[in-house]
């Protein structure tokens, strides 16, 4: 399976610049070995989906509500994301877990809603700095996997140590190797044979200078990129460092 390079644009980009960024990504995407995905804010999904129409680059949302519709002021359903042109959705990002109090149980419900609407979910897991200092990283991530992923699970997991997100600090290759091997084993333990095929993205300050070494680590199935996905050149440079068919 090819590696997946996914851009999380977070709360950046009005529609004009979003369309330009999407066009820039599209222009450099042809012939890449990896799969590409960009996840703009809700308001720019349709613009970006139009700019990328007929290209190899997929579009995703950054969150969805667990319910299909109803009295949920300010929320967006998975079907609405789909209707706007998304085929993927990021769920349980640490910024949602921390800033919106999202629990594993809520994230699991969101995954079910996403799959029901025909979206491919990317479920984020990762320990905080305090948890790592306390030596709890595998325990925390194991619980997040058990709690946030429904069974069966047809989606992607993104391991993002919270202390590496947006900080410029990256996990060492050794940390990455240990955690991705642990997650691969845990997916096998919790999901059996099917767990072996679940892609595990890595995220946390990935940029052109460190992408090749992080993406070369065993059991790294791609990258979830925040800051560096906001410039087409940087995002594409990371994509060029990614692997093709042997990328899981
Ligand atoms: C993220 O938010 O998923 C992320 C990895 O951000 P950054 O690349 O900026 O650390």
pLDDT (tens digit per residue) in 23-76 = 999 999 999 999 999 999 999 999 999 999 999 999 999 999 999 999 999 999
Q: Is the CB of 39 under 6 A from ligand 1?
A: no
Please state, in angstroms and as integers, the Cα–Cα distance from residue 50 to each residue in 20, 44, 87, following that order.
11, 10, 13
> What pLDDT shows up at residue 136?
97
Query: Residue 46: helix, strand or coil by DSSP?
Result: helix
Catalytically active residues are 93, 160
Residue 59: what are its φ and ψ, rounded to 5°? -125, 140
Q: Which atom number of ligand 1 is nearest to the Cα of residue 124? A: 3
Q: Which residue CA neighbors atom 2 of ligand 1 most closely?
A: 226
Please state, in angstroms and as integers, the Cα–Cα distance from residue 187 to each residue in 120, 142, 151, 156, following that order.
18, 9, 11, 11
Residues 6+ apart with CB under 8 A from 53: none
How wide is the angle at C-alpha 58 spanned by C-alphas 31 and 143, nearest 5°? 115
**Single pTM value for the model:** 0.97
Query: Residue 218: helix, strand or coil by DSSP?
Result: coil
């Amino acid at each position: 399976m090819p590696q997946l390079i996914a851009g999380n644009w977070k709360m950046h980009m009005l529609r004009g610049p979003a369309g330009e960024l999407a066009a820039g990504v599209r222009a450099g995407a042809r012939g890449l070995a990896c799969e590409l995905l960009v996840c703009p804010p809700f308001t720019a999904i349709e613009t970006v989906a139009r700019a990328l129409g007929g290209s190899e680059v997929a579009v995703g949302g950054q969150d969805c509500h667990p319910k299909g519709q109803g009295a949920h002021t300010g929320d967006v359903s998975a079907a609405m994301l789909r209707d706007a042109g998304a085929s993927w959705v990021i769920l349980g990002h640490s910024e949602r877990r921390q800033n919106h109090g999202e629990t594993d149980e809520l994230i699991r419900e969101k995954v079910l809603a996403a799959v029901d609407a025909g979206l491919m979910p990317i479920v984020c897991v990762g320990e905080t700095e305090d948890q790592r200092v306390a030596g709890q990283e595998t325990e925390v991530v194991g619980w997040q996997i058990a709690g946030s992923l429904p069974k069966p699970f047809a989606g992607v997991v993104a391991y993002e140590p919270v202390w590496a997100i947006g900080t410029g600090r990256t996990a060492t290759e050794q940390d990455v190797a240990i955690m991705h091997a642990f997650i691969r084993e845990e997916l096998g333990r919790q999901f059996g044979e099917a767990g072996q095929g679940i892609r595990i993205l890595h995220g946390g300050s990935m940029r052109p200078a460190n992408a090749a070494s992080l993406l070369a680590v065993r059991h790294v199935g791609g990258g979830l990129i925040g800051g560096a996905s906001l410039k087409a050149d940087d995002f594409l440079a990371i994509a060029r460092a990614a692997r093709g068919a042997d990328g899981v």
